[in-house]
Amino acid sequence: MTVFHLWFILLVGGVFIYLWAKRLRRDAWLFFVLALMSYGLWYGIAMDQPFTITKMIEQGILGVFSVFSPG
């Protein structure tokens, strides 16, 4: 796990700091948000318990249906 964190932080942190230093704030934040989302997914994979995206979508669809269903 330490290796995973180290790789991720080095890669993402390096790019983020480079963009920030170049005063490309918008680029830096956009990259950071994408990297943060991918970190969430990769963390599950590294833990051998991947978060299942389709299950989350399923919950969302059922939630919307329950709002619009009568009773």
Partner 1 sequence: MEGNVTIRGSQFYFLTVNYILGTTLFVLIQSLVKSAGRDAWLIPLWGGLCGVVFALLWLLLYRLHPGKTLAQISLDVLGRPLGTVATVLYFLYFTTVAGFVLRNLSDFLTGTIMPETPGPVFHIMFLIVAGYAAAQGVETIARLSQLLTPFLVFPFWFVILLATVNWDWVRFVPAFQPETLAGIFRYQSILGYPFLETVALFMLFPFVGNRLGRMLTGGIATAAVSISLTVFAIIGSLGVERTVHLNFPIYSLVEEVAVNDVIINIHSVISIILLVLIFIKLQVLYFAAFETLRQTFKPRLRWPLLLGIMLLMAGAAPSIIENTIQNWEWSSKYNFVYNGFFGLAIPILLLAVTWIKAAAGKRRQRGGMTA
Q: Does 47 bind partner 1 (CB under 8 A)?
A: no
Contact predicate 41/51, CB 8 Å? yes
Site for partner 1 in 48-67 (CB under 8 A): 50-55, 57-58, 61
1 touches partner 1 by CB under 8 A? no
Instruction: Out of 9, 17, 41, 47, point to the residue binding partner 1 (CB under 8 A).
Output: 41
**Dihedral-angle region of residue 50 (phi above 0 means left; psi in -120 to 50 means alpha; beta otherwise):** beta
Residue 3 contacts partner 1 per CB under 8 A: no
